[in-house]
């Protein structure tokens, strides 16, 4: 009976679960508000308005399928049965027409009826005796009232229709009739085996008929619903067509308005020039006037040509939209399958009663299923057409918004033209006024004016600007001649006032200068100053300043709770101190004069923190900050973004940037104080930086001309005892001096309610999304949400799901705006997460990694969702292998995340782990220097002049084995001599902001032996741009589609040459790089980051004389690299990665040359699943097994050649 079942389970389980998660129904399951079973579809409301006359409208949905009986509730619905007996035969009157509620659910078949026990006509299948369907307790067939002992045949009376109709109508009791005995003769007897078998057979046959009837009704209803859905889809498509025409008209009108506005501006400029030329002194060169006129004419022609091209493009887009819409309707109009006539089938396999009726029902079911399949196909076509049209119109809307981003842009331009015309008219009146008042004076003589303004001349003893503005005092009354024309009478006082206002508004503003220091004067914002004074740290201002004024007190440990304001206020407290001024002096034993001090440096662990804090402090100080600013008080310096205005006194920068400055200036002469913020994060760079600062503090400051360097260590959860122990032997103490002081500041922390999960969650991503949805629906505005995730991939996946959920929200629920926040994000995108949402009735949701734990505050956050994990990189020196896994955070990190919710008001923190799990967390994170490769740190120490790296002061020294391996590796790369001193090659490698092996590759590529520096820079830029530039693909369908585009990028040599081909094709693409990346599933942000790195490395190679000249600018035509050239590039990379090679073993696995470890090629590599003689890999990571990433195919002989050199 599979054929008569109620449909199989759909294969869209993922979509169903997602719709269930969002709390919405799929569109294909929605029904009309009218009765979908009884009411026919009305006339198409859009048929008369459709402009596509050549498209035949689709036939309306009919009541039934091939005149089949309608289902329960369908028009013309009726039960499957033989004709009812006439009244003459003892039957009742004909049944009412069945509809919704008839036969099965209504008066003829409700509870207590034919099927469920309601009042019903006489037994339809047995015309003798009382009707089994009389009102009674209900049930199949029902028992009449007062007949509790009715024989069991009544149960199966409905299955004996033919037998009952074949018997003549009679008043005598029949065998098996209601009220009769078993035998019909008043005597009770046992049923024979044949009778029992017949009863069982009739029961099965009745059940089969009922299932057939239900199936036919279900198919009929499904077909009707599919037809109605198709009609709605076609109507929606027609509406989209009309909307597309309106969009095309809007775009045409915008283009026309912009062109007319431009013409008006040109006319205003011509009038202004003409008006000025009437009184201006002509000093133009007559020999170049023709050229200027031709140039102006050419500009006009170019603009007109561009306007024509713009109008033509708009017209072409509109025509294509019309053609596309007509094509959609033609395709849909011919897509429906024609209805087939019922066909007879051979059912000779079974010899059942009522065979002919059963065959008819099966034919109806088969025909209905076929039509339903056709309707579903049409629904798919309609949906695809609607989707394409919506995408096209969305792009057109974006284009329109770009043309008129401000709704009042055209009106503003028109208003500006009106103001210009009014100003020109006022100038004309002013000039005429001068002429009328001086008409009796001698002719004007041209002479040089004494004013400094070269655009001012003197005519008739009056000072007049060439722009036509009156700048001299009004003439004396006695010298005023009567006006010759009434239209140019003496100017009213109102016009005189307008002239003065216009003149003052045109006067350029001058910047204020600080006469004492020659710097830009800061003008503190009074509103922000009031906010600053309310910060907890403000009342400790004097204590902080006095602590560093004391003689010999050079180190201050400042422990401030979250929200105290230490990151923004401490540098402003220090830069105005007397000891923080730039001083010029001579070094002892030398005649050279040096400048020391004058700036305060504040280090931050991340770029986003440095830039955000710099913008905040610049606002508080009232000083400009931005590109092109000539001067200012505040600046910042991060990788790829260096904005330090002239005369800056406060400088925010990352720890790595200050380490690079230490290589150029070991004594940090530019700074009077160094503020190390967020030291509790214990990054590798901050440990190195603190070690170098300790060395400077331990010296006699000879390199600084005897001027001490002040150091401020700040954190919210710092290990004060450890810091005191580290700095205790900085300088020998004098009597009464304190080298280090500790100051603790209470924060302004509002109460935060912490909610833990009752038990561990199996899926963190799913639990995080559900928690966000719950907060959004239950918590009132204002109050934004900050959610902590583990990485970029998780953030992008969650952002997509939340945005899909936001599209389903009702109008009375606040809207959602999602912002990502992670390290590889562009600076502009990172800043957007800190800006308030402009739209009203909207909640901001920030999805961030652990970069939002400290340093910065996201305004408006009241709710924090903590996943309890973070990706931690760990290096195993013995194995030479690195792992990047999501691990539980520490208690200090959990406290920091919780504190984000209480910065501006009472908040809530939702931890996606039990409270018992929180108690088992470590107190603090393990310092990076203990879990990362120290190769770069050792190179930095050697470049800084540290000979004995084992004796270098570190708060937590790494294992001796790790340092020794790093020294051996640097010696192999040529960065160290045999005695351990740094070489010239090593000094150059240390100046590059890349790892030591990649630096070795850069230097090798510059040698004539390889001569592939441009290619090496391109590859290194892709490698160091963040996570893999190729996005992971989940579905098989998307995999097949993307592979067709990625094949043109992939090279048989491996990943390195594939990276080179990718960046070369990307830079050669000049039309649409966004679409290019989308087709190939390439991370657009990482590609932009790669171009920034490439630009920086090229500039450094020019500075280091590794490049003779700058490479040509992009775009350049793409030329595939030859196999011979690719071989040279791979050999060049072996100079830096010869120790990261593996040979093919007899069992088909790869065994590393160093360490003899078995590795597998990562699935993301183009060489995955291939067997090569030998491979070179740039990364050795462990996730669920040992993987080699960024793999290239090499020859075994190349390894020996690289190891011997």
Q: What is the 3-state secondary structure (H, E, C) of 1062-1073?
A: HHHHHHHCCCCH
Looking at 52-66, 354-368, 402-416, 554-568, which range is the least confident one? 52-66
Selection from 666, 639, 638 nearest residue 651 by Cα: 638
Percent of all residues in the chain with a pLDDT value above 70, rounded to a whole number: 68
Residue 453 has pLDDT above 70, yes or no: no
CB 869 within 8 A of CB 790: yes
Mean pLDDT of 1036-1043: 76
Tell whether the model's pLDDT for residue 483 goes beyond 50. Answer: no
Is 50 exceeded by the pLDDT of residue 108? no
What angle in degrees, to the nearest 10, is found between the helix axes of 1036-1046 and 1073-1080? 130
Q: List pLDDT tens digits, range 495-551.
A: 454 444 444 444 444 444 344 333 444 466 777 888 888 888 998 999 999 988 887
Report the alpha-carbon distance of residue 508 to residue 541 in Å, rounded.
38
Q: Rounded to an integer, what distance in angstroms lies between the CA atom of residue 892 and that of residue 719?
A: 11
- 3-class DSSP state of 1180: strand
H/E segment holding residue 310: helix 289-333
Phi, psi values for residue 160, rounded to 5°:
-115, 40
> Which residues, in sequence order, are CB contacts of 233 under 8 Å at separation 6+?
379, 382, 383, 386
- Residue 1054: is its pLDDT beyond 90? yes
Who wins on pLDDT, 169 or 720? 720
Q: In the prediction, which pLDDT does 405 show?
A: 56
**Model confidence at 591, in pLDDT bands (50, 70, 90)?**
confident
As a whole number of angstroms, the distance between CA 130 and CA 144 comes to 8
φ and ψ at residue 256, rounded to 5 degrees: -65, -45
Q: How far apart are CA 611 and CA 602, in angstroms?
A: 11
pLDDT digits (tens, 9 = 90+) for 114-143: 433 444 344 443 444 444 434 444 333 344
Q: Given strand 815-821, what is the order of strands in its sheet? A: 752-756, 907-911, 861-866, 784-788, 842-848, 815-821
Phi–psi pair at 770, nearest 5 degrees: -65, -35
pLDDT digits (tens, 9 = 90+) for 916-941: 999 999 888 888 888 888 999 999 99
Q: Is the pLDDT of residue 36 over 50?
A: no
Higher pLDDT, 461 or 4: 461
Give the rounded distance of the alpha carbon of 866 from its chain centre: 20
Q: What is the structure's pLDDT at 296?
A: 74
As a whole number of angstroms, the distance between CA 459 and CA 482 comes to 20
Question: Beta partners for 911?
Answer: 756, 866
Residue 810, pLDDT above cutoff 70 = yes
What are the strands, taking DSSP E only, across 774-880?
784-788, 815-821, 842-848, 861-866, 869-876
Say how far apart CA 124 and CA 180 lie, in whole Å: 18
pLDDT > 90? residue 1167: yes
pLDDT (0 to 100) of residue 1031:
80
> Which carries the bigger pLDDT value, residue 1024 or residue 195?
1024
The more confident residue out of 1144 and 36 is 1144
CB 603 within 8 A of CB 689: yes
Paired sense of beta strands 599-604 and 650-654, if any: parallel
Q: How many Cβ atoms from other residues are within 10 Å of residue 576's Cβ?
A: 12
Q: Of 25 and 688, which is predicted with more confidence?
A: 688
pLDDT in the model for residue 424: 61
Give buried/exposed letters for 185-197 (b at 16+ CB in 10 A, else e): eeeeeeeeeeeee
Quick check: 18 pLDDT over 70? no
- Cα angle: 615, vertex 617, 622; to 5 degrees: 95
Residue 542: which H helix or E strand, with range? helix 541-549
Token digits for 473? Answer: 């005092």
For the chain, percent helix, then strand, then coil, each to nearest 5?
Answer: 45, 15, 40
The two structure tokens encoding residue 570: 């401490």
DSSP state of 898: H
SS3 at position 865: strand
Chain CA centroid to CA 915, Å? 32
pLDDT at 372: 82
CA-to-CA distance for 1134 and 1181, rounded, in angstroms? 19
pLDDT at 158 over 60: no
Nearest to 692 by CA among 718, 658, 717, 669: 658
How much is the average pLDDT of 552-576? 87
Beta bridge partners of 1126: none
Helices (H) and strands (E) in the chain, counts: 30, 29
Cα(1135)–Cα(19) distance, integer angstroms: 54
Rounded distance between C-alpha atoms, residue 996 and residue 989, angstroms: 6
Whole-number Å distance between alpha carbons of 671 and 1030: 43
pLDDT of residue 1204: 83
In degrees and rounded to multiples of 5, residue 510 shows phi and psi of -105, 145
pLDDT at 748: 66
Distance CA 1134, CA 153 (A): 93
HSE at residue 1186, side-chain half, CA atoms within 13 A, is 17
Beta bridge partners, 674, equal 601, 711
**What confidence tier does 718 reach under pLDDT thresholds 50, 70, 90?**
low
pLDDT of residue 274: 61
Segment among 76-80, 552-556, 803-807 with least mean pLDDT: 76-80
User: Which pLDDT belongs to residue 443?
Assistant: 44
Is 90 exceeded by the pLDDT of residue 380?
no
Whether residue 445 is predicted with pLDDT greater than 60 in this model: the reply is no
Q: How confident is the model at residue 629 (pLDDT cuts 50, 70, 90)?
A: low
Range name among 505-519, 549-563, 699-713 with the lowest pLDDT average: 505-519
How many residues can be counted in the chain?
Answer: 1205
User: 129, 130, 104: which is closest to 118 by C-alpha?
Assistant: 104
pLDDT per residue as tens digits for the range 839-858: 888 999 999 998 888 767 78
Which own/partner contact pairs does 298-307 have at CB distance under 8 Å and 24+ positions apart? Answer: 300/266, 303/262, 307/255, 307/259
- In the chain, what is the straight-line distance between the N-terminal and C-terminal CA atoms, in Å? 79
When pLDDT is cut at 50, 70 and 90, the band that residue 1042 belongs to is confident
pLDDT on residue 585: 84
Q: Are 414 and 258 in contact (CB under 8 A)?
A: no
Read out DSSP for 62-115?
PSSSTTPPB-TTSTTB--S-PPPPPGGGT--SPPPPP-TTSTTSSTTTSEEETT
How would residue 11 be classed by pLDDT, with cut points 50, 70 and 90? very low
Mean pLDDT of 668-691: 91
Higher pLDDT, 300 or 353: 300
**Mean of per-residue pLDDT scores for the chain:** 74
pLDDT tens for each residue of 1148-1157 = 899 999 888 8
């Amino acid at each position: 009976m599979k054929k008569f079942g109620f449909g199989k389970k759909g294969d869209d389980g993922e979509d169903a679960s997602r719709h269930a998660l969002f709390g919405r129904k799929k569109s294909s399951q929605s029904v009309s508000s009218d009765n979908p079973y009884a009411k026919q579809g009305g006339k198409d409301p859009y048929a008369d308005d459709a402009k596509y006359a050549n498209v035949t409208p689709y036939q309306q949905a009919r009541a039934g399928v091939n005149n089949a009986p309608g289902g329960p509730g369908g028009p013309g619905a009726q039960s499957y049965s033989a004709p009812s007996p006439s009244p003459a035969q003892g039957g009742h009157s004909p049944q009412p027409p069945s509809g919704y509620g008839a036969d099965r659910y209504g008066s003829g078949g409700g509870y207590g009826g034919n099927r469920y026990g309601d009042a019903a006509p006489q037994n339809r299948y047995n015309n003798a005796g009382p009707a089994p369907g009389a009102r009674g307790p209900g049930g199949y067939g029902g028992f009449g009232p007062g007949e509790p002992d009715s024989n069991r045949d009544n149960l199966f009376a409905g299955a004996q229709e033919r037998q009952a109709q074949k018997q003549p109508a009679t008043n005598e009791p029949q065998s098996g009739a209601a009220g009769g005995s078993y035998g019909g003769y008043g005597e009770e007897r046992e049923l024979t085996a044949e009778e029992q078998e017949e009863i069982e057979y009739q029961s099965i046959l009745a059940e089969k008929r009922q299932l057939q009837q239900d199936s036919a009704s279900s198919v009929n209803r499904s077909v009707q619903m599919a037809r109605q859905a198709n009609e709605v889809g076609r109507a929606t498509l027609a509406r989209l067509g009309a909307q597309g025409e309106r969009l095309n008209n809007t775009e045409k009108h915008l283009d026309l308005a912009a062109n007319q506005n431009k013409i008006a501006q040109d006319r205003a400029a011509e009038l202004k020039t003409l008006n000025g030329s009437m009184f201006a002194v002509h000093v133009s060169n007559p020999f170049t006037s023709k050229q200027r006129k031709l140039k102006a004419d050419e500009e006009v022609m170019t603009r007109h040509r561009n306007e024509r091209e713009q109008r033509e493009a708009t017209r072409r887009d509109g025509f294509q939209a019309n053609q596309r819409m007509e094509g959609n309707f033609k395709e849909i109009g011919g897509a429906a399958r024609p209805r087939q006539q019922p066909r007879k089938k051979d059912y000779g396999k079974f010899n059942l009663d009522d065979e002919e009726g059963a065959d008819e029902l099966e034919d109806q079911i088969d025909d209905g299923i076929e039509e339903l399949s056709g309707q579903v196909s049409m629904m798919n076509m309609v949906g695809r057409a609607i989707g394409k049209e919506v995408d096209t119109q969305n792009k057109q809307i974006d284009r329109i918004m770009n043309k008129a981003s401000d709704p009042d842009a055209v009106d503003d331009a028109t208003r500006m033209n009106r103001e210009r015309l009014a100003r020109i008219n006022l100038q004309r009146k002013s000039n005429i006024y001068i002429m009328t008042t001086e008409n009796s004076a001698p002719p004007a003589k041209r002479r040089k004016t004494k004013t400094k303004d070269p655009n001012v001349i003197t005519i008739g003893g009056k000072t007049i600007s060439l722009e036509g503005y009156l700048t001299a005092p009004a003439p004396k009354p006695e010298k005023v001649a009567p006006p010759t024309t009434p239209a140019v009478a003496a100017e009213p006082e109102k016009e005189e006032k307008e002239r003065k206002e216009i003149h003052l508004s045109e006067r350029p503003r001058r910047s204020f200068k600080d006469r004492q220091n020659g710097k830009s004067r800061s003008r503190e914002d009074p509103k922000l100053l009031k906010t600053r004074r309310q910060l907890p740290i403000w009342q400790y201002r004097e204590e902080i300043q006095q602590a560093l004024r004391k003689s010999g007190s050079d180190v201050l440990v400042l422990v401030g709770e979250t929200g105290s304001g230490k990151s923004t206020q401490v540098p402003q407290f220090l830069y105005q101190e007397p000891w923080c001024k730039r001083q010029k002096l001579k070094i002892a034993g030398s005649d050279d004069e040096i400048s020391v001090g004058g700036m305060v440096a504040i280090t931050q662990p991340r770029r986003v923190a440095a830039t955000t804090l710099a913008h905040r402090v610049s606002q508080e100080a009232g000083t400009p900050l931005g590109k092109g600013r000539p001067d200012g008080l505040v600046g910042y310096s991060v990788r790829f973004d260096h904005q330090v205005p002239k005369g800056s006194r406060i400088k925010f920068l990352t720890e790595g940037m200050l380490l690079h400055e230490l290589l150029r200036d070991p004594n940090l002469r530019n700074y009077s104080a160094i503020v190390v913020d967020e030291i509790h994060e214990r990054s590798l760079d901050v440990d190195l930086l603190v070690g170098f600062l300790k060395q400077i503090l331990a010296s006699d400051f000879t390199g600084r001309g005897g001027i001490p360097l002040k150091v401020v260590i700040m954190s919210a959860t710092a290990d004060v005892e450890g810091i005191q122990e580290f700095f205790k032997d900085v300088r020998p103490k004098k009597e009464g001096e304190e080298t280090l002081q500790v100051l603790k500041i209470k924060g302004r922390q509002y109460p935060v309610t912490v909610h833990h999960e009752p038990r561990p969650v199996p899926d963190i991503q799913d639990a995080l999304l559900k928690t966000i949805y719950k907060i959004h629906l239950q918590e009132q505005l204002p109050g934004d949400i900050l959610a902590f995730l583990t990485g970029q991939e998780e953030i992008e996946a969650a952002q997509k799901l939340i945005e899909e959920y936001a599209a389903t929200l009702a109008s009375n629920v606040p809207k959602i705006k999602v912002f990502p926040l992670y390290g590889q994000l562009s600076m502009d995108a990172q800043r957007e997460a800190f800006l308030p949402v402009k739209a009203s009735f909207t909640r901001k949701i920030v999805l961030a990694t652990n970069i939002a734990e400290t340093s910065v505050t996201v305004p408006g956050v009241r709710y924090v969702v903590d996943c309890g994990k973070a990706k931690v990189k760990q290096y195993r020196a013995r194995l030479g292998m690195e792992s990047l896994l999501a691990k539980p955070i520490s208690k200090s990190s959990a406290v920091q995340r919780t504190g984000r919710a209480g910065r501006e008001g009472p908040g809530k923190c939702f931890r996606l782990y039990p409270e018992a799990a929180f108690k088992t967390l470590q107190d603090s994170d393990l310092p990076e220097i203990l879990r990362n490769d120290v190769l770069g740190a050792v190179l930095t120490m050697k470049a800084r002049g540290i000979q004995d790296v084992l004796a270098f002061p570190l708060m937590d020294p790494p294992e001796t084995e790790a340092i020794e391996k790093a020294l051996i590796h640097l010696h192999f790369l040529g960065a160290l001599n045999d005695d351990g001193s740094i070489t010239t090659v090593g000094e150059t490698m240390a100046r590059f902001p890349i790892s030591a092996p990649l630096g070795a590759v850069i230097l090798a590529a510059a040698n004539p032996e390889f001569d592939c520096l441009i290619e090496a820079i391109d590859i290194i830029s892709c490698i160091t741009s963040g996570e893999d530039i190729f996005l992971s693909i989940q579905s098989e369908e998307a995999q097949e589609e993307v592979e067709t585009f990625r094949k043109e990028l992939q090279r048989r040599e491996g990943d390195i040459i594939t990276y080179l081909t990718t960046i070369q094709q990307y830079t050669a693409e000049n039309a649409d790089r966004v679409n290019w990346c989308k087709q190939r599933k390439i991370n657009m942000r990482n590609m932009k980051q790669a171009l920034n790195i490439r630009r920086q490395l090229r500039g450094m190679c020019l500075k280091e004389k590794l490049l003779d000249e700058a490479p040509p600018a992009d775009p350049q035509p793409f030329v595939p690299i030859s196999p011979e050239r690719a071989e040279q590039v791979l050999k060049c990379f072996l100079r830096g990665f010869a120790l990261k090679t593996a040979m093919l073993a007899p069992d088909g696995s790869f065994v590393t040359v160093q360490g003899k470890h078995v590795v597998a090629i990562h699935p993301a590599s183009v060489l995955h699943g291939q067997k090569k003689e030998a491979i070179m890999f740039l990364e050795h990571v462990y996730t669920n097994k040992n993987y080699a990433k960024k793999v290239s195919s090499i020859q075994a002989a190349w390894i020996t050649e690289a190891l011997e050199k």
